Amino acid sequence: MAKLSALISLIIPVAVVLQYMIWTIISNTACTATKLTTSPKFPAILIFGDSTVDDGNNNYIRTLFKGNHYPYGRDFPDQIPTGRFSNGKLVPDFIATALGIKENIVPPFLDPNLSDEELCTGVSFASAGSGYDNLTTVASGAISIFKQIEYFKKYLVRLKGIVGEADAKKIVNGALFILSAGTNDFIFNFYDLPTRRLQFNISGYHEFLQNRIQVFIEDLYNLGCRKLFIAGLPPIGCLPIQMTAKFENLRDRKCLEDENLDAENYNQKLAKLLHQVQAYLPGSKIVYADVYKPLIHMINHPENYGFVETKRGCCGTGLIEVGPLCTPITPLCTKASEYLYWDCIHPSEAAYQYLSKYMEEEVLPKLLYI
């Protein structure tokens, strides 16, 4: 009996150790199992910016800038209004699926039900109404770009808790980072609400914003980002809301060439800046993503994409409806796929799908092959 007791006393600690080891392995496979089935080029996707890439973070903050109500999401799976400012998916959703990073969509970081598996392959920190200028979020109540960095730090803490520090570093170093913002800065602070025009001319405002972008990139780099593409400005002067604001006779509405020229000049400066920043950040690959070119081509050649309307959104009159003005009782167009814009600011899912194809063909290869 003594020998049996001694044997049992040896077996129990060993069993406890084995149980702990098994539990540890299981808890860490949340990311490992996912990583084995995804593209080895990018283990995760991490998104920052405004409503063009906000997958629903604004659902969880106090702001009027919400897309979590019908008719937003009308063409999303199961017609769910997720908080995306479109009738369906956004560019990051399409890219993440095409690269094999996600099976379907990119979740928002603030989702309280976010699983470890989803977190491991990436999230969006973006917030509708955000921008590079702090005044932009004062007007919108959105999550500022630099506040999104703070959320990213919380993401890192959680990620390390799931997979450990070494694997977390590998995931972040290899992740695809996307930044899309800037349009709100010009609409809120320079064109429609000319607060910054009292302080800057257009060239000075370009420089002000791009100085902030440079700081943002450096902050991301110091936290592990190595592969990043940054979207430039769209043809702002062709947004339905901008044309509506400038033309008294709605029949005369057309793209505002001065605002489009401002966007083109900004984009040229941004592309040059990103090349310079990459040069002094060792091991980084920072790519300019031109959204102006594909969008203006859709506007000028709608028949190539199946669009019949490019000057107004599908929701309501398409002239002023966005966010709280695009409601469950607002009349809608029959086929959103025939409209470049879903509301008076945001592209339709069809337009986003064409944009994502452009990114996959023209931008991602520059990050994949260093």
**Catalytic positions:** 51, 343, 346
CA angle 225, 91, 217 (to 5 degrees): 25
- 4: number of Cβ within 10 Å: 8
Nearest-angstrom CA–CA distance, 81 and 303: 29
Contact 82, 215 (CB under 8 A): no
Q: How far is CA 343 from CA 275, 323, 352, 366, 367, in A?
A: 34, 8, 13, 32, 32
Nearest-angstrom CA–CA distance, 147 and 129: 13
Reported residue count of the chain is 370
Q: How far is CA 359 from CA 95, 337, 338, in A?
A: 8, 20, 21
Nearest-angstrom CA–CA distance, 87 and 272: 34
Nearest-angstrom CA–CA distance, 184 and 3: 77
Q: Which helix (H) or strand (E) holds 21?
A: helix 2-36
- 265: number of Cβ within 10 Å: 14
Backbone angles phi and psi of 161, in degrees to 5: -70, -25
HSE-CB of 115 using CA atoms within 13 angstroms: 10
- Which residues 6+ apart lie within 8 Å of 159 measured at CB? 31, 119, 120, 168, 171, 172
Nearest-angstrom CA–CA distance, 143 and 129: 8
Contact 352, 294 (CB under 8 A): no
Nearest-angstrom CA–CA distance, 349 and 337: 7
Nearest-angstrom CA–CA distance, 244 and 246: 6
Nearest-angstrom CA–CA distance, 44 and 38: 9
